[in-house]
Amino acid sequence: MAYRKIIHIDMDAFFAAVEQRDHPELRGKPIAVGFDGPRGVVATASYEARRYGIHSAMSIVRAKYLCPELTIVFPDHTHYKEVSMEVQEIFREYTDVIEPLSIDEAFLDVTENKKGMEMAVDIAREIRERIRQQLHLTASAGISYNKFLAKIASDMRKPDGMCVVHPDRSDEFIAQLKIEKFWGVGPKTATRFHRMGVFNGADLRKLTMEQLSFVFGKVGRIYYNFARGIDDRPVVTSRVRKSVGCEQTFLEDINTRVAVLVELYRIVLELIQRIRKSHFEGYTLTLKVKYEDFTQLTRSVTKPHPLQTKEQILPLAKELMKQVDYEKRAIRLIGVSVSNPHLADTHSVWVEGELDFSA
């Protein structure tokens, strides 16, 4: 049987690593990339900072508490994107079948590659060395015969490591894999699995398709296949954009009508700019509100025409906001997005993270 050769490359602590590379005074020190303010959140933490328990999505306040000597670096996303493009230029010397998952990770299908190299592990090793020599950064790699296993493998020996899951060893590898490590299993889904007595791949493999489908619906089939090392998704070189959105966390909670409408207006203007830049056409407007106690709600409306202008979006956003009670609970964050593109094939695109419907 001929297997595909899939590599997953994941840049190590990408934003922080770029900052430490470009600023020698930061090397070897615990740093976090993010906004240094009471509502700031860690985008990426260096490995020196991670030893203190600091991680992405943690509040800056909490991070500073854990590590008083932590250095906070304001993010330079334009520069990070430029460096990401340099990494992808290296990828393209080996294959054009590249699927970026984000600015710092991507799948490569090297079954047929430009260098005629037989072993995917040799390609991954060479790419990592090129990244080290040319860009002075490190990357971890996972190599296997499908996307699911390649991605899981890339996390096994981080940072600056490489892991291969050979077809002959995949059953053993999956059996000992914690259920939390399965692609698409978030904290809430993991809790549901635990209640079912499922803690690893071996436990998951004992469940029938019918059992998994009953509990998880259509996604049950995916979990069933993953437990058996089955993932037929190709490496997709172009992805259909499903939504455009933006959100704002406020320095201070707001609960007056004037403040809410002013911030909503600003966010809608930013959304319109992003829609224009991406040439996106979507028919559903969604408002997200996060309260001071971190609970959140969403409200949506769908129209028969694309939502692209201020005249189309702002009145709808205001109507949705009327459904939100913020007199007793102040608002911490407001987000607005346009989704539901009028494309017949959008259902075929699976964006990472969508599996965890309960999260």
Return the pLDDT at 111: 97
Return the pLDDT at 346: 35
Please check whether the domain covering 177-226 is classified as CATH 1.10.150.20.
yes
Looking up tokens 């058996």 gives 228
Domain boundaries for CATH 3.30.70.270 within the chain: 1-165
CA nearest neighbour of 143 among 119, 159, 160: 119
Spell out, as residue ranges, where the chain has pLDDT lower than 70: 342-359
pLDDT digits (tens, 9 = 90+) for 107-141: 999 999 999 999 999 999 999 999 999 999 999 99
User: Domain 243-348 is classified in which CATH homologous superfamily?
Assistant: DNA polymerase, Y-family, little finger domain (3.30.1490.100)
How many other CB atoms are there within 10 angstroms of residue 39's CB atom?
16
Return the pLDDT at 271: 96
CATH dotted code for 1-165 = 3.30.70.270
Q: Let me know if 129 is a catalytic residue.
A: no
pLDDT digits (tens, 9 = 90+) for 274-295: 999 988 999 999 999 999 988 9
Return the pLDDT at 39: 84
75 vs 61, 70, 72, CA distance in Å?
17, 15, 9
Angle among Cα 138, 139, 144 to the nearest 5 degrees reads: 155
Per the residue annotation, which of 82, 105, 180, 281 is the catalytic one? Answer: 105
Return the pLDDT at 342: 65
> In this structure, are residues 292 and 332 in contact, taking their beta carbons and an 8 Å threshold?
yes
Domain boundaries for CATH 3.30.1490.100 within the chain: 243-348
Return the pLDDT at 242: 86
What is the pTM (predicted TM-score) of this model? 0.78
